[in-house]
Amino acid sequence: MRIYKRKGSPYWWVTWNGQDGKRHRRSSGTRDRKLAEALAAKWLKDGFMERHFGKTREVPFGEALLRYAKVQKRDHARTFKRSTRHRLKRLQEWFGTYTISEITLSVVQDYMDERLETVSLATAQREVTVLRAILNKAYREGTLDRAPRVPKFKAIKSRDRWLTPQEEERLVAAAPRHLVPIIRFAVDTGGRVSEILSLDWRDVDLTNRRARFRDTKNGEDRTVRLCDRATATLAGLGPKDSGSVFTFRGRSIDSVRVGFNKARRIAGLEDVRFHDLRHTFASRLVQGGVPLYDVMHLMGHKSLDMVQRYAHLAPDYQDRAIQALNAFGHKMGTIGGREAA
C-alpha cells in the first residue's frame, strides 16, 4: 500500500494490491494524511472480508451517486447539465445518510410520499428512475449484493396513517430522551423532519409563540403558530440566542432514522413512519373542525389537492352526506325501487 500526492490534486491518493491480485488506485478525498491512512486501512479490510467471507463492504449512497454522476457527465453532458444534476442533488439530500444496502422498497416509498407533496407524480418517478440506475450500477460493479427492488410506480396510493393519542404516547415512551421533543414538535406543528432538524433559535419567538421554517420543500419560508404544548416543548430546551434547537449532547441532530425506527418497533408501531407525524397534525386539525383551506396553509401546501385526503375526517362530513341522501330519498318517496310503506 502506498499513499501519495498526484500532480494537480490537493488530496492524498492510495494504491494497493487487492485480494483479487489487481492493482487498485483511489483518491481519499482528504488533505489529511492521517485520515487518508485510516481510509486506506479500511479499504484493505473491506477487500479482505469480501474475498474470504463473501461480505460486500457497506458503500455510502453518496459514493455510489458520485460514480454514477461521473459517467453521466462524461457520456451525456447536455442532459446532465439540464436535468440529471438537479435530480442527483435532490437524491443526495434525502438519501445521503444511507448506505446503498439500506435503500429498500419501504425507504423509496417514504421518499415518494414526501416528494408527492410538492411535485407531480411524473417528476417523482423521474427521480426514482435515476435512483434505480445508481443502484443498478452499484450492483453491476459488485458493491451491492442483490439487484435493488425499486419498481416503476404507476400509481401510488397516498398514505393516510396517523397516530391516535394513545399511539403517540406509546411512541414517546419508547423513544430516547433527545427524540421525544422532536416527536412532540412534529405532531404539534406538522413540520417535515428536514424543517424541524434545521430549526435555529434565531427563528423562534416564544413571546409571540411563533417559529419559522426556512427553505422548505416548496422553496419558501413558512411561519407556524405554536400551540401550548409546542411552546412548552421549546421552552424546555432553551431558549438560546442562536444555534440548532434540537441537539444531542450539544451537537445538531442530522438524522432521526435510527432512533425513530427503534422506538416504533418497541412501541409496536412498525407501520408508522416519521412523516406520519405530519399526517397526524393535519388529521387532528380536520377532526377538530379546522377548514381544509386553513390546513393547507398551516402545512405549507400551495393547493387543496394535497389536503383533500383528510376531508372525510371532518366531524360533520358523514352526517351531512347522510342527511342529504335522506332528504333526496324522502322527496322520491321510494325505497329499493318500490313505494315506501
Contacts of residue 211, defined as CB under 8 A and 6 or more positions apart, other chains included, come to: 189, 199, 203, 204, 205, 223, 224, 226, 230, 234
- Inter-residue contact 182 to 194 (CB < 8 Å): no
Q: In a 10 Å sphere around its CB, with 0-12 CB exposed, 13-18 middle and 19+ buried, how is residue 61 labelled? A: buried
Report pLDDT for 289: 84
Phi and psi at 298, nearest 5°, equal -65, -30
Sequence length of the chain is 341
- Inter-residue contact 24 to 17 (CB < 8 Å): yes
Cell match 398514505: residue? 159
Contacts of residue 129, defined as CB under 8 A and 6 or more positions apart, other chains included, come to: 152
- Cα–Cα distance, 57 to 261 (Å, whole number): 23
- Cα–Cα distance, 198 to 204 (Å, whole number): 12
pLDDT tens string for the chain (341 positions)?
788 887 777 778 888 776 666 777 777 767 788 888 887 787 777 665 565 554 556 788 999 999 999 999 998 887 888 789 999 999 998 888 888 888 888 788 888 888 888 887 888 888 999 999 999 998 888 788 777 677 666 655 566 788 999 999 999 999 999 999 999 999 999 998 888 999 999 999 999 999 999 867 666 788 999 999 999 999 999 889 999 999 999 899 988 989 999 999 999 998 899 989 999 998 898 888 888 888 888 888 777 777 777 777 776 655 655 666 666 555 555 444 444 44
Report pLDDT for 337: 47
Distances (CA, A) of 69 to 26, 40, 83, 128, 137: 17, 23, 12, 15, 11
pLDDT digits (tens, 9 = 90+) for 28-80: 767 788 888 887 787 777 665 565 554 556 788 999 999 999 999 998 887 88
pLDDT digits (tens, 9 = 90+) for 77-118: 878 887 899 999 999 988 888 888 888 887 888 888 888 888
Q: Give the residue extent of every domain in the chain.
A: 2-53, 61-140, 165-313
Q: Give the number of other Cβ atoms within 10 Å of residue 325's Cβ.
A: 10
- DSSP label of 29: S
Instruction: Please tell me whether the peptide bond between 60 and the residue prior to it is cis, using omega within 30 degrees of 0.
Output: no
Contacts of residue 306, defined as CB under 8 A and 6 or more positions apart, other chains included, come to: 117, 296, 299
Distances (CA, A) of 225 to 189, 218, 250, 279: 8, 19, 26, 17
> Could you give the 3-state DSSP secondary structure of residue 154?
coil
Contacts of residue 281, defined as CB under 8 A and 6 or more positions apart, other chains included, come to: 186, 187, 188, 189, 190, 299
Phi and psi at 329, nearest 5°, equal -65, -40
pTM for the full predicted model: 0.57
Report pLDDT for 169: 96
Q: Which CATH class is domain 165-313?
A: mainly alpha
**In the chain, alpha helices (H):** 33-53, 61-75, 77-79, 85-95, 105-115, 121-140, 165-174, 180-189, 193-197, 228-235, 257-266, 276-287, 292-299, 317-332
Distances (CA, A) of 36 to 5, 13, 29, 42: 11, 8, 8, 10
